[in-house]
A and B are shown apart, each in its own frame.
Chain A
Amino acid sequence: MSRATLDRAAVALLLVALLAAPVLLDVLGAPFWVNIIAEILIWSLLAASVNLLFGYVGLLSFGQALYFGFGMYGVALSIGHWGVGFWSAFAIGVLASILMAAAAGALAVRLTWHYFAIITVIFSLIFYFVALSSKALTGGDDGLSFAAPPVLDLGGWKLSLTDPATQYYFILAVCLLCYGLKALIIASPLGLAFAAVRENDRRASLIGIDVYRTRWIAFVLAGALAGVGGALFAFFGRYASASYMVYHVSGEAVVWAIVGGAGTLLGPFVGTALLVLFRELVSGFWEHYLLAVGAIVIVAVIFAPEGLVGAWNRIGRRDAAQVLPEADAAAAAEART
């Protein structure tokens, strides 16, 4: 079997497994795991958001939890406070994070290197404190709970997220759509411009690419991905809280994205799945499992900086190895000039 068919078979197998999961887990007598897979899917969107910026455009953001939070609050506020329907709430959540990313991105992408990482943290911290202090609106650290309205209401026939299987398939469908759109964008001329900016922004601008605009578009798209994740998470937990906007959440997403493989389509999903499963399996009998997570992160970055999916790809194609270190070297050279 050639390498390409092997990859395709693995992706197909993963898809089948994800589609069959609720039925399969029910038969195995572990329906509880359906929710964990749903959670992995949701968080992997936040990791994908980090990955779009870092892996494809070379900007390391430590503040993507802000847009996740906007998606989350957009849904929670519009349902809990304003009594809006399901789809409108979803749209408001995603739109809120897109607008926030457009505004923050316009300022943030003027900076690169460490400065970019720092300013993304500042934006998320500012709004974390705003959400924390406006308790009447957001509920602060205690959060905001609400009852989810039905997804579809056709006369007497209702489709509602209260059914775990329905909820799971809804989350899966939205995630597949997001990953599909991301794949299309990466393969498009815009995706090539992303790669050009990542590899060398000076040469990219010489061949006529508007570097600032390209980075800004990537920032807005990443904000949208995180916003979809946040909106799904709000529906999933019927809950929103400022504690999901703190910079440690962003940091975890960075970890998932990089352990899985920056600059690969499935890397964020693989990284998130690995670390969430690790948490679920180990935290039951070892309270201090975070020690191991920290160690895994450090070892992964030192020995496989291209991540798990990246390492797998490298075994397949030796020439594609040095993407990350080169991007880093270019950024370092730029920072010094």
Chain B
Amino acid sequence: MSNLVFALAINGLVWGLIIALIALGLSIIFGLLDIINVAHGDFFMVGTVAGLVVAEATGSFWLALAAVPAIGFLLGLVVERLVIRPSARLASLTIVTTFGLSMILQEMVRASFGAQPRRMAAPVPGTIPLFGLDYELYRIIAALFASLCLIGFFVFLNRSKLGTWIRAVRHDRETATALGIPVTRVCAFTFALGTALALVGGAIAAPITTVEFRTGIDILPACFMAVVIGGLGNLQGTIAAAVLLAVLEGIITSVGDPTIARIVSLAVMCGVLLLRPHGLFAGATR
């Protein structure tokens, strides 16, 4: 029995790291552009589909994993130019435009990829023994890959010139403009980067979830929970919250059913919003 709890907790950890990657995109877009991207879950969904399609076309999952970020970045640039920038002056209405975008993305995938859910074979077959259970090897690799992406993102943000610009714009837009930082372009880049993160998360998750046009609707609440509990715009908090919530859901699932686990984490989120609206980890970093 306790082995099962461990296995579900590890499962939660794997999912938590993937969700952390997606939520990070949501969080950085919110932190910089001050918009809530309701279509972010659908970016994840596009990532799962793109991963599957490229892997089937080229025969290599790893090639797909390399191609998907580029697809995501380009998609992000286009969306930022056509949808986000024109509606950004009406801040709260960006929720509505991104909702329209969500409809478009889902319908485009349904029209081209079909409505039938598909499954993708694990690119790395086999299992490894873990707490007396046989655990899928690919899931461990997925978790490692997600961690690598997270580390890479923070190295980029803290060490590169562009990363410094992003942090500067996030901190104080007016001063950044005065210092000659091309704020508009930094914002476009950041949106594209956030989109690419969501698509990468999708490509990693494709072999361990179903691939269909609806998956974004399920993933979006999980990402929002991580972002809100971690603190809107607080990146490290987002990652910590994503992992904690997923492990918590994994453990509750081992004793109750997944719906109860979902309700519990929603209730946690509700409490955090009301008692500590700036997140559980506010004050540490901002």
Chain A residues engaging chain B, CB cutoff 8 angstroms? 60, 62, 107, 110-111, 113-115, 117-119, 121-123, 125-126, 129-130, 132-133, 246-248, 251, 254-255, 258, 287-288, 290-291, 293-298, 301-302, 305, 324-325, 328, 331-332
Contact = CB atoms under 8 A, between A and B. Distances in A.
B273 A123 contact: no
Interface stretch (B70-78, B135-143, B239-247, B261-269): B261-269
A297 B93 contact: no
B27 to A, nearest CB: 12
A301 B97 contact: yes
Given A114-B36, A126-B267, A133-B257, A251 B99 contact: yes
Interface stretch (B44-52, B83-91, B151-159, B195-203): B83-91
Interface residues of B, number: 43
Given A290-B103, A295-B104, A111 B273 contact: yes
B89 to A, nearest CB: 7
Contact of B217 (A117, A129, A248): A248
Nearest to A115: B277
Nearest to A289: B107
Among A110, A119, A296, which residue has the most Cβ atoms of chain B within 10 A? A119
Given A295-B100, A298-B100, A301-B87, A62 B95 contact: yes
B38 A110 contact: no
Describe B's contact surface by its main secondary structure.
Answer: helix
B89 A291 contact: no
Given A114-B30, A287-B111, 20 more contacts: A60-B92, A62-B95, A111-B277, A115-B273, A118-B273, A119-B274, A126-B266, A129-B266, A132-B259, A133-B257, A290-B103, A293-B100, A295-B104, A298-B87, A325-B89, A328-B91, A328-B92, A328-B93, A331-B92, A332-B91
B23 interface: no
A325 B89 CA distance: 8
Nearest to B261: A129
A119 B108 CA distance: 30
Contacts of B103: 290-291, 293-294, 297
Interface in B20-57: 30, 34, 36, 38
Interface in B91-118: 91-93, 95-97, 99-104, 106-108, 110-111
B260 interface: yes
Contact of A298 (B101, B217, B232): B101
A247 B41 CA distance: 13
Contacts of B36: 114, 117-118
Given A110-B274, A118-B273, A122-B266, A324 B100 contact: no
A302 B87 contact: yes
Contacts of B83: 298
B153 to A, nearest CB: 23
B274 A107 contact: yes
A294 B100 contact: yes
B228 interface: yes
A270 B83 CA distance: 24
B263 A294 contact: no
B266 A301 contact: no
Contacts of A301: 87, 90, 93, 96-97, 100
A133 to B, nearest CB: 4
Contacts of B228: 118
Contact of B90 (A111, A114, A115, A305): A305
Given A298-B101, A302-B87, A114 B269 contact: no
B97 A126 contact: no
